[in-house]
Amino acid sequence: MVYSRTIRLIDTDAAGVIYFASLLSICHEAYEDRLLQSGINLKTFFRNTETALPIVHGEIDFFQPLFCGDRIEIQLIPKVINENSFEISYKIFLAQSLEKTIAQGKTKHVCINPLSRQKISLPDPIRNAIFGDLDHL
């Protein structure tokens, strides 16, 4: 899956260069879009009292600056860690130059019961939304 987005003024610092936390936030937008495209209702998903998927680690690396007005594409690459956690790698490209990675990110997610805060197995609808099928676990 690929997510497209234009870097906006609000994403940048005073010099017009994207702020590192903004790109990590845009990667999260791409993750949310993947859930939406898979049929997950985000309003109920994030209010779920039985399952939560907090991000326990995030990172972003830049290979060149991004500026306000740049059009980017983000490729999501999910990977299973175990029955209750996964990570998503994000490869970021300029839309007009898809052969060169200009940044990369990663988020690690753990599935928990939000009331007990204990780890639980990923539910099938979440596995399907993130991985496309159940053959990955």
Helix (H) or strand (E) holding 97: strand 97-110
Q: 106, 87 in Cβ contact below 8 A?
A: yes
13 as an active site residue: the answer is yes
Check 13, 61, 133, 135 and give the catalytic one.
13
Q: Cα angle at 74 between 72 and 77, to 5 degrees?
A: 170
Token output for 1: 């899956």
Which residues form the catalytic set?
A: 13
